[in-house]
């Protein structure tokens, strides 16, 4: 089922063990948990950290054994976006180049890896950190979480896909208010406007995200991937195109072994055992 993932650095074919201090990868059974791990700077993203995140997403996306992904942050924040101190260093790349080289490939990888990705938003998600959460398929937040499109405060515009994802998640009017005013959106408000699908107590977040990931991982992988892709393309299609795309995807899913297994399990009144074939 799993196809190599194009992270903009060529396809990654396999997923050997891992690798980095600032981006951790923990794989437990079919669930991969990626943790942004620079808590002293609220997981603000440096160039190496972005490279590492991209690398890890490539590995995970290419790993057929991984069927669901959780992305979270270490410490009290999810991610504070670009490391602003790094931007002041001599030789910092131009912003447009940095987006093209690193941020945009991260967003594309999140959108295109075959597995569903849950953002477990454990605290503040600011700037590109919010954009990265928006690019995930699902968002669960801790009560202490918030989303801040902090770009305007430093004279920048929302990037890393936020102008594309946010209106799709909450509608154009709310997106405009969040982007233009830049006020933090609390977890409670995020739930109310559909920016997150669940809010839980901080100490329950990891378990809640893991439980959701385990449920996703128990699904038929091909059907999960095709569903993710269909939902991701929905705003680009009219009804006829969506109906045609559903029929094509259903043809593929319907000819899989997993569909046969799902039917057999229903008739035999047992849980299905999906293999991804």
Footprint (CB under 6 A) of ligand T3D, residues 235-264: none
Which part of the chain contacts ligand T3D (CB under 6 A), choosing from 21-29, 120-128, 205-213, 252-260?
Answer: 120-128
C-alpha 60/C-alpha 117 separation (Å) is 11
Cα–Cα distance for residue pair 175/182, rounded to 1 Å: 10
User: What span, in angstroms and rounded, lies between the C-alpha atoms of 38 and 84?
Assistant: 14
Contacts by 88-94, CB closer than 8 A, 24 or more apart = 93/47
The reply on whether position 41 binds ligand T3D by CB under 6 A is yes
Residue 181, SS3 per DSSP: helix
- Per DSSP, the three-state class of 110 is helix
For ligand T3D, the closer of residues 38 and 59 by Cβ is 38
Task: Round to whole Å and give the CA distance between 227 and 72.
Answer: 23
Phi and psi at residue 59, in whole multiples of 5°? -60, -50
* Of positions 65, 84, 100, 211, contacts ligand T3D by CB under 6 A: 84
Is 44 among the residues that bind ligand T3D (CB under 6 A)? yes
Distance between CA atoms of residues 217 and 60, nearest Å: 13
Q: Between 172-181 and 162-170, two packed helices, what is the crossing angle to 10 degrees?
A: 130
Cβ nearer to ligand T3D, comparing 123 with 276: 123
Q: Which is nearer to ligand T3D, 148 or 220 (CB)?
A: 148
3-class secondary structure, 132: helix
Q: What are phi and psi of 34, to 5 degrees?
A: -105, 125
Spell out, one character per residue from 126 to 145, where the chain touches ligand T3D: x when CB under 6 A holds, - when not.
Answer: xxx-----------------
Cβ proximity to ligand T3D, 87 vs 273, nearer residue: 87
Q: Quick one: which of 36, 113, 150, 253 contacts ligand T3D (CB under 6 A)?
A: 150
**In the complex, minimum distance from the CB of residue 39 to ligand T3D, in angstroms, rounded to a whole number:** 9
Count the site residues for ligand T3D by CB under 6 A: 24
Q: Looking at 31, 107, 121, 124, which residue binds ligand T3D (CB under 6 A)?
A: 124
To ligand T3D, the closest distance from the beta carbon of 226 in angstroms equals: 32
Distance of CA 100 to the CA centre of its chain: 18
Q: How far is the CB of 266 from ligand T3D (least distance, A)?
A: 47
* Interface residue list for ligand T3D (CB under 6 A): 41-42, 44, 80-85, 87, 95, 98-99, 103, 124, 126-128, 148, 150-151, 154, 156, 159
């Amino acid at each position: 089922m799993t196809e190599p993932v194009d992270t903009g650095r060529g396809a990654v074919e396999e997923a050997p063990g891992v690798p980095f201090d600032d981006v951790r990868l923990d794989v437990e059974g079919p669930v991969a948990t990626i943790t942004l791990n620079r808590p002293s700077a609220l997981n603000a993203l440096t160039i190496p950290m972005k490279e590492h995140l991209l690398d890890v997403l490539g590995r995970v996306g290419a790993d057929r054994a991984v069927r669901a992904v959780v992305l979270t942050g270490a410490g009290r924040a999810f991610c504070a976006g670009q490391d602003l101190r790094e931007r002041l260093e001599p030789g910092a790349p131009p912003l447009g180049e940095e987006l093209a080289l690193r941020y945009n490939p991260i967003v594309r990888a999140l959108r295109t890896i075959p597995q569903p990705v849950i953002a477990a938003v454990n605290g503040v998600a600011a700037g590109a950190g919010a954009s990265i959460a928006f690019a995930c398929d699902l968002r669960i937040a801790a009560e202490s979480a918030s989303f801040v499109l902090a770009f305007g405060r430093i004279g920048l515009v929302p990037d890393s896909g936020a102008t594309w994802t946010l209106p799709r998640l909450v509608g154009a009017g709310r997106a405009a208010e969040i982007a233009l005013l830049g006020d933090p959106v609390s977890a409670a408000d995020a739930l109310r406007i559909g920016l997150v699908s669940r809010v839980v107590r901080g100490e329950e977040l990891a378990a809640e995200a893991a439980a959701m990931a385990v449920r996703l991982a128990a699904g038929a992988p091909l059907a999960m991937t095709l569903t993710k892709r269909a939902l991701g393309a929905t705003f680009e299609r009219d009804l006829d195109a969506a109906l045609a795309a559903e029929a094509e995807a259903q043809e593929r899913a319907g000819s899989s072994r997993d569909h046969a297994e799902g039917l057999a399990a229903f008739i035999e009144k047992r849980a299905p055992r999906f293999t991804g074939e």
